[in-house]
Amino acid sequence: MTSTPILKRVKAAASPNIAMPTYKILGFIGDGIGVEIVPEAVKVLDAAGEAYGFEVEHLGPYECGAHYWVRQQMKRGWPEEVTKELFYEADAIYKGPTGLPDLVGRLPGPYLPLNMRLDLDLYANIRPCRLRPGVESVLRGREPGDIDFIVLRENTEHMYVGIGGTLRRGGEKEMAIDNYVQTRKGCERIIRFGFDLARDGDYKGRPGAPRDGKRRLTCACKWGLCKGDDLFKEIYDGLVAEYPEVEPDSTWIDSWSYYALMRPDFYDVVVMPNQYGDIMSDMSGAVQGSLGLAGSVNAGDRYCFAEATHGSAPDIAGRGVSNPTSMILSVGMMLNWLGEKKGDPRLKEAWRGIDKAVDKVLAARKVRTPDLGGSSSTKQFGAAVAEVVKKGA
Ligand code: NAD
């Protein structure tokens, strides 16, 4: 079966006098609420192109994910036209959440022809946690501006390398082993990425920690107990002297889960190994008021793909009430990454514009999805943000 891109889109109108760059953006819809939130992010992406003067050549968005895999009798994870080359050709990629709980563990990897995070070497998963205007945190007494940190998750090592196996005896699964791997290269590049992020203040509302404005990189792991985390911490300690502009800080990951709730304003950028980052960034979804606000990008030196921090939310899928902010912010962050890579300030401005537009709509408290206590639909929220972006937030 061939599959055509699902959404119809309007191209940004070119001004005859200004050279308008075109960027190829490859997109995937995913499962569950992916069908609802991805179209809203695409709407906002097109609005940003119009407002900030670039054109998006859309590759897709295509179907993918657990539902697609099942429909293809568990043989294909993608439409035929989605080749490996397409990934390498695209300037950037976005993907809606994939996975359905009944199929967890039964499908190969993320059901994709290449495991994007590893094959594209997307080693840095940037997951901002910011309390935005008009939103209540689950933490008592915290105001917008009090919380603005980034969970920086290493994305290619640790517990998710897939090196392990099971022992079956007499038809019974008797033992299972997962190997947890950390390498010098993997630790060093993510920690350097963290220092750079803290120094530059990129992807944040404001550089530095809200409490004291200090640019700070916190190293959070379980050194002293796990060999891989000993290496992570040793490499962190060895790099501190190279970044005098950034205040060093270290905490065991279990303590960090406490401190992040007790003094979230102290944190600026927090770097951690893969699985810890996976868990802590869901917690930071609650800290910022809803997982539906949690955007993220998986970034490497050459490729980037945007995806929300959360999953396919089967409990609310199909009702049109999911919060598309996570996907909208993810696509915005993707533009920021691309702007840096291409040296195109329009894309960086577009990211800021999208970010501010989200704040404006949330602050007005008129259009809000149910996770934030409102009754607006996914589409209404997406349309409101796109409208503000078009006007140049
Ligand atoms: P989930 O993140 O999908 O949902 C957790 C809770 O957050 C649910 O109550 C959900 O309704 C809520 N939520 C999530 N996104 C929301 C949004 N945009 N607006 C409003 N509420 C939102 O976690 P889960 O239910 O444990 O996982 C569901 C499936 O997603 C599983 O199959 C899992 O494997 C998969 N998953 C995929 C990714 C990914 O594609 N990157 C990440 C995590 C989980």
Q: Is residue 211 exposed (0-12), middle (13-18) or buried (19+ Cβ within 10 Å)? A: middle
What phi-psi label fits residue 233: left (phi over 0), alpha (psi between -120 and 50 degrees) or beta? alpha
pLDDT of residue 16: 44
Q: Is 373 left (phi over 0), alpha (psi -120 to 50) or beta?
A: left
- Residue 308 Cα, ligand 1 centroid: separation in angstroms? 9
| Ligand 1 midpoint to CA 89 (Å) | 29
Contacts of 19 (CB under 8 A, 6+ apart): none
Please give the pLDDT value at position 303: 95
Ligand 1 lined by 155 (C-beta under 6 Å):
no
The list of the chain residues with pLDDT below 70 reads: 1-18, 108-114, 393
Is residue 100 lining ligand 1, measured as CB closer than 6 Å? yes
The full set of domains in the chain, from first to last, is: 1-125+295-393 (3.40.718.10), 136-287 (3.40.718.10)
> What does the angle CA 34 – CA 38 – CA 39 come to, to the nearest 5 degrees?
125
8 A C-beta contact, residue 316 and residue 33: yes
Whose C-alpha lies nearest to ligand 1, atom 44? 311
Q: CA 223, CA 93: separation in Å to the nearest integer?
A: 35
Q: What is the pLDDT of residue 111?
A: 64
State in Å: Cα 101 to ligand 1 middle.
10
Cβ atoms within 10 Å, residue 86 = 16
List Cα–Cα distances, 100 to 36, 43, 157, 163, 306, in angstroms.
Answer: 15, 25, 24, 23, 20
What does the buried/exposed string (b/e) look like for 192-203 if buried means 16 or more CB atoms within 10 Å of the residue's CB?
A: bbbbebbbebbb
Is the C-beta atom of 307 inside 6 A of ligand 1?
yes
Distinct helix (H) and strand (E) counts, the chain? 11, 12
Whose tokens are 């791997």? That residue is: 181
Query: Is the Cβ–Cβ distance between 303 and 121 less than 8 Å?
Result: yes
How far apart CA 14 and CA 17 sit, in angstroms, is: 9
Report the first-to-last Cα separation within the chain, whole angstroms.
42
What secondary structure letter does DSSP report for 156?
S
Beta strands in 216-352 (DSSP E): 216-221, 247-252, 269-272, 297-299, 304-306
State if residue 116 touches ligand 1 by the CB under 6 angstroms criterion: no
* Angle at 357 (CA atoms; ends 356, 361), nearest 5 degrees: 120
Q: Give the contacts of 138 (CB within 8 A, at least 6 positions apart).
A: 286, 287, 289
**Angstrom distance (rounded) from CA 49 to CA 56:** 7
Residue 103: per-residue pLDDT: 80
DSSP 248: E
Residues 23, 58: Cα–Cα separation, whole Å: 8
* Model pLDDT, residue 11: 42
Q: Ligand 1 center to residue 33 CA distance, Å?
A: 9
Count CB neighbours of 45 within 10 A: 28
Q: What is the pLDDT of residues 97-142, one digit of tens each?
A: 998 888 877 776 656 656 788 889 999 999 999 999 999 999 999 9
Distance CA 161, CA 274 (A): 10
- The reported pTM is 0.94
Residue 20 CA to ligand 1 centre (angstroms): 37
Contact 145, 126 (CB under 8 A): no
Ligand 1 pocket test: which of 283, 310, 369, 376 has the largest number of ligand atoms within 8 Å of its C-beta? 310
**pLDDT for the residue 195:** 98
Residue 92 to residues 16, 56, 124, 162, 214: CA-CA distances in angstroms? Answer: 26, 11, 15, 26, 32
Q: Are strands 216-221 and 172-178 parallel, antiparallel or unpaired?
A: unpaired
Q: Which two tokens stand for residue 103?
A: 């199929």
pLDDT digits (tens, 9 = 90+) for 145-167: 999 999 999 999 999 888 999 99
* Residue minimizing CA distance to atom 23 of ligand 1: 311
